[in-house]
């Protein structure tokens, strides 16, 4: 079984890959009598802090849910302010991320995005492509079901072309056809730790396949209020879990080489 957490010296066990549903921006703004867009803008600070923390702890990968397939059905004004914010954030942040050896990729249905945003994304991905530090995936226009559908279509096409036999489709083929699996030169482990802010305890169509054995951490903190202390609390929660992957505890301790 693949080792999914790292132990450095006597330090606590850290997740290799963290996935976050950044929820609660609208409520944060409403509580201050501000428009929802102000909450989204303020959420950018929490994104910056989270990336810094991940870099500091040498976490390998961070996947952030920024906009879901379903979020397209929000009022047009909110959708367009979010799209504007993505462009702005890319323009403002990519240079510094690049300096910090961070690689950025976007997962999701890009064809739904404006040409302008698609171009900014492509430029950011290209500029940071060789970076070997934190691997950041931003899920935009992403849905777990969309992801499964596009993977199935890809595999079906390969079968129709005679490049793949249906009986040769295993979990491995499915995994690598999914959005996190096709990030070309990188073998990205499934998330070890999932964090959702904003108090809801649901997956909201995030990474359905990849979260199969992920440890789940929920906090009532609204995303703009997500701070270093809360991030550390999530890491501590993760470190205290015994991941059994369907085995019994004693077996798992042998697999992980001690307790
Ligand atoms: C999360 O915050 C950001 C997006 C979904 C884009 P919300 O906008 O969902 O904020 P709440 O949940 O309404 O407070
Ligand atoms: C999930 O939040 C999507 C993102 C954070 C991008 P939502 O606010 O859209 O989820 P629901 O509607 O509460 O399930
Ligand atoms: Mg929400």
For the segment 155-176, the average pLDDT, to the nearest whole number, is: 96
> Residue 78: which domain range?
14-143+190-242
Tens digit of each residue's pLDDT (9 = 90 or more) over 93-127:
999 999 999 999 999 999 999 999 999 999 999 99
Best residue for ligand 2 mutational test, from 19, 21, 23, 72 (most atoms within 8 Å of Cβ): 23
Q: Which residues contact 107 (CB under 8 A, 6 or more apart)?
A: 63, 137, 138, 139, 140, 142, 147, 179, 180, 183
Q: What is the pLDDT of residue 2?
A: 43
- Quickly state the pLDDT bin for 243 (edges 50, 70, 90): confident
Q: Tell me what the pLDDT averaged over the chain comes to.
A: 93
Q: What is the rounded distance in angstroms from the CA atom of residue 108 to the CA atom of residue 110? A: 6
- Ligand 2 atom with the shortest distance to the CA of 26: 8
Q: What is the pLDDT of residue 190?
A: 94
Q: What is the pLDDT of residue 145?
A: 98
- Ligand 2 atom with the shortest distance to the CA of 204: 14
Q: Is residue 155 part of a domain?
A: no
Q: What is the pLDDT of residue 221?
A: 98
Ligand 3 (single-atom ion) residues, CB below 5 Å? 23
CATH code: domain of residue 87 = 3.40.1180.10
| Rounded distance from Cα 139 to ligand 3 centre (Å) | 15
- Does the pLDDT at position 165 exceed 70? yes
For residue 82, which ligand has an atom nearest its CA? 1
Q: Is residue 252 part of a domain?
A: no
Tens digit of each residue's pLDDT (9 = 90 or more) over 2-56:
444 555 555 789 999 999 999 999 999 999 999 999 999 999 999 999 999 999 9
CB burial of residue 3 (10 Å; 0-12, 13-18, 19+): exposed
Instruction: Kindly report the protein residue whose alpha carbon is nearest to atom 13 of ligand 1.
Output: 26
| Rounded distance from Cα 23 to ligand 1 centre (Å) | 5
Nearest 5°: CA angle at 57, between 56 and 59? 115
For residue 69, which ligand has an atom nearest its CA? 2
Q: Is residue 51 part of a domain?
A: yes
- Quickly state the pLDDT bin for 234 (edges 50, 70, 90): very high
- Quickly state the pLDDT bin for 254 (edges 50, 70, 90): confident
Whole-angstrom CA distances from 110 to 10, 73, 106, 138 are 43, 16, 8, 12
Backbone angle region of 4, left / alpha / beta, with phi > 0 → left and psi within -120 to 50 → alpha: alpha
Using an 8 Å Cβ cutoff, are 191 and 15 in contact? yes
Q: Is residue 167 part of a domain?
A: no
- Does the pLDDT at position 183 exceed 80? no
- Does the pLDDT at position 259 exceed 90? no
Best residue for ligand 1 mutational test, from 21, 22, 24, 226 (most atoms within 8 Å of Cβ): 24
Of all residues in the chain, the percent with pLDDT exceeding 70 is 92
> Which residue(s) pair with 216 in the sheet?
194
Instruction: Kindly report the protein residue whose alpha carbon is nearest to atom 6 of ligand 1.
Output: 67
Pocket of ligand 1 (CB under 6 A): 22-27, 67, 71, 82, 198
| Rounded distance from Cα 207 to ligand 1 centre (Å) | 17
Q: Is residue 107 part of a domain?
A: yes
Tens digit of each residue's pLDDT (9 = 90 or more) over 193-214:
999 999 999 999 999 999 999 9
For the segment 79-97, the average pLDDT, to the nearest whole number, is: 97
- Domains in the chain: how many in total? 1
Q: Is residue 94 part of a domain?
A: yes
Q: Is residue 161 part of a domain?
A: no
């Amino acid at each position: 079984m693949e080792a999914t957490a790292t132990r450095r010296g006597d330090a606590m066990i850290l997740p290799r890959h963290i996935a976050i549903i950044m929820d609660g921006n609208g409520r944060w703004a409403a509580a201050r009598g501000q428009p929802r867009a102000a909450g989204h803008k303020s959420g950018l600070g929490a994104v910056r802090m989270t990336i810094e923390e991940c870099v500091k702890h040498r976490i390998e990968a961070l996947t952030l849910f920024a906009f879901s397939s379903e979020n397209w059905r929000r009022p047009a004004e909110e959708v367009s302010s979010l799209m504007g914010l993505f462009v702005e954030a890319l323009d403002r942040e990519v240079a510094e991320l690049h300096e910090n050896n961070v690689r950025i990729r976007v997962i999701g249905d890009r064809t739904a995005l404006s040409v302008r945003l698609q171009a900014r994304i492509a430029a950011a991905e290209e500029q940071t492509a060789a970076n070997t530090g934190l691997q950041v995936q931003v899920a935009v226009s992403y849905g777990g079901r969309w992801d499964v559908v596009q993977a199935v279509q890809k595999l079906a096409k390969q079968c129709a072309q005679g490049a793949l036999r249906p009986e040769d489709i295993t979990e491995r083929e499915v995994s690598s056809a999914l959005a996190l699996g096709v990030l070309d030169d990188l073998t990205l482990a499934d998330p070890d730790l999932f964090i959702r802010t904003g108090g809801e305890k649901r997956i909201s169509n995030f990474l359905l396949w990849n979260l199969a054995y992920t440890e789940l951490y929920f906090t009532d903190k609204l995303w703009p209020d997500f701070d270093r202390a809360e991030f550390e609390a999530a890491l501590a929660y993760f470190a205290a879990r015994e991941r059994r992957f369907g085995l019994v505890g004693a077996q798992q301790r042998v697999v992980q080489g001690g307790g």
